Amino acid sequence: MTTELVTPGDVIGKASELKAGKGAYVNDTTIYASLTGTRRIVSPLPESLDQRAIVEVTGHKAHALIPEPGSVVIGRVTKVMARMASVDILCVGSKAVYEKFPGIIRQQDVRATEIDKVDMHLSYHAGDIVRAMVLSLGDARAYYLSTAKNELGVVSAESAAGETMVPISWTEMQCPLSGQTEQRKVAKVGS
């Protein structure tokens, strides 16, 4: 694997032979680097139609970490309203973001079935930690998130008594201290 140090603007390949990956961009027929780092060639996935190898530049700074459509994020619910819940996005993938991003989960994106019968207050409470997927960049104020999958939803919540609850089913969590069950859209953890 040949590696060399490149800086922004350096020519790292031809668009006819290679595809531009992370840290690279195409102008006309040439691929240039957009970050400072090491140039690497990654072989293409066997099932992809385009069999060109991908050239990418790995930088040293971890950020430019922002939610992208399709990425799984972890956030804290800040407000629950009649038709949506506000979420502060805290992590993208497995990395924490430097500054919080605002997100909302709309009533129709809470779960996959019977989406018009969803009661937001039986799905989330303020303070719950949720795992969600980014649907889109949303409007000017917040990202649109969805928990309409088995592995998405509330991962950690505090009961009225103040203890972290244990999940019982995909709709209920129980407080170990008081024995009270509370309703949430629970995420399925584990295989």
Partner 1 sequence: MEYVNPEGLRLDGRRFNEMRQIVAEIGVVSKADGSAVFEMGNTKVIAAVYGPREIQNKSLQKNNDHALVLCEYSMAHFSTGDRRRQKNDRRSTELSLVIRQTMEACILTELMPHSQIDIFLQVLQADGGTRSACINAATLALADAGIPMRDLAVSCSAGYLNSTPLLDLNYVEDSAGGADVTVGVLPKLDKVTLLQMDAKLPMETFETVFALATEGCKAIAERIREVLEENTKQLEYRRAA
Residues that bind partner 1 (CB under 8 A): 5, 7-11, 23, 25, 27, 32, 34-38, 59-64, 66, 98-102, 137, 140-141, 143
Query: Residue 30 or 156: which CB sits closer to partner 1?
Result: 30
The rounded radius of gyration (Å) of the Cα atoms in the chain is 21
Smallest separation, CB 88 to partner 1 (Å): 10
Separation of alpha carbons 56 and 52, rounded Å: 13
Give the shortest CB-79-to-partner 1 separation in angstroms: 17
> What CA–CA distance (Å, rounded) separates 125 from 43?
45
Nearer to partner 1 (CB atom), residue 71 or residue 183? 71
Q: How far is the CB of 1 from partner 1 (least distance, A)?
A: 15
Which CB sits closer to partner 1, 60 or 117? 60
Beta bridge partners of 132: 73
Distance between CA atoms of residues 162 and 178, nearest Å: 10
- CA quadruple 117, 119, 91, 65: dihedral sign: positive
Measured from the CB atom, the residue of 52 and 100 that comes closer to partner 1 is 100
- Both tokens assigned to 76: 């804290």
